Amino acid sequence: MGNKLNVSFKNKGESFGPETTEMQSYIGVLARTKPPIWQDNWKCIPEEIKTKIWDFVLMAFILPPSAKKLVLRSAGQKWREFKSRLTTHYILPYRDQPQLLAYPPADFSFIEKSHWDIFVAERTSSEFLYQSHPDEEEVDRSSTWVLARQDKDGNYLSDDVQRKAEEIVKEGKLKAEGVDDVLTLALGKPEHGGRVRGQGVHVKQSIYFDLPRKKKARTMDEKI
């Protein structure tokens, strides 16, 4: 990689200058390509991988040993951001088109298919969508509905979709419960057929909205 770049640090240990910008860019590349995306959180990443990231950075930049913590903290943040980007732009919009999730995106062909399969399964699971997650915030159905109608650059598929999306953002300030949530208010149409819009065909209203179960009518024989 040629001559090493000397990174400057402030008294409080913060790096600065153009060399820092280049170093952070390089850390981003390492964070995307070295740690497996299927790991739950940064703490689960093996120490040998973290050490390898630090060693690669030292091959290109002159840093004091004390900078290791800074470098790995930055790598962890960039790794989480990468996973979030994959989730919001390359997975959630295609949840109802599994054939499009069979392989890693062409832009990230370095991702191993086995790692991608594990990651997709986790990011499309009900546990990830409806429960808290250690890295990312819970994804609500209004967000998934909007994301499914955007291209990878964030452009809406039609003017009508854009208007509805703007209404969803506006209605997000309202407090709504049960089936009368933000998405329902923005679309102006109630849920139907037991299906929940924006959550795929297998998610039932009773489960998603945590509705009380209807009591079955007892027959005369059962009453006796």
Tens-place pLDDT, residues 58-86: 999 999 998 999 999 999 999 999 999 99
Report pLDDT for 135.
52
pLDDT at 39 over 90: yes
Share the mean pLDDT of the chain. 74
pLDDT at 54: 96
Work out the average pLDDT over 21-49.
Answer: 94
Q: Is the pLDDT of residue 142 over 90?
A: no
Confidence tier at 219 by pLDDT (50, 70, 90): very low
**Angle CA 217–219–224, to nearest 5:** 125
Among 10-14, 21-25, 220-224, which is the least confidently predicted range? 220-224
pLDDT digits (tens, 9 = 90+) for 98-120: 999 999 999 999 999 999 999 99
Residues above pLDDT 90, as percent of the chain: 38
Q: Categorize the per-residue pLDDT at 14 as very low, low, confident or very high, splitting at 50, 70 and 90.
A: confident
The answer, as to whether pTM is greater than 0.85, is no
**pLDDT at residue 120, as a whole number:** 95
Please tell me the predicted confidence (pLDDT) of residue 18.
84
| CA gap 151, 168 in Å, rounded | 18
pLDDT at position 16: 81
Res 43 pLDDT > 60: yes
Q: Per-residue confidence at 96, pLDDT binned at 50, 70, 90? A: confident
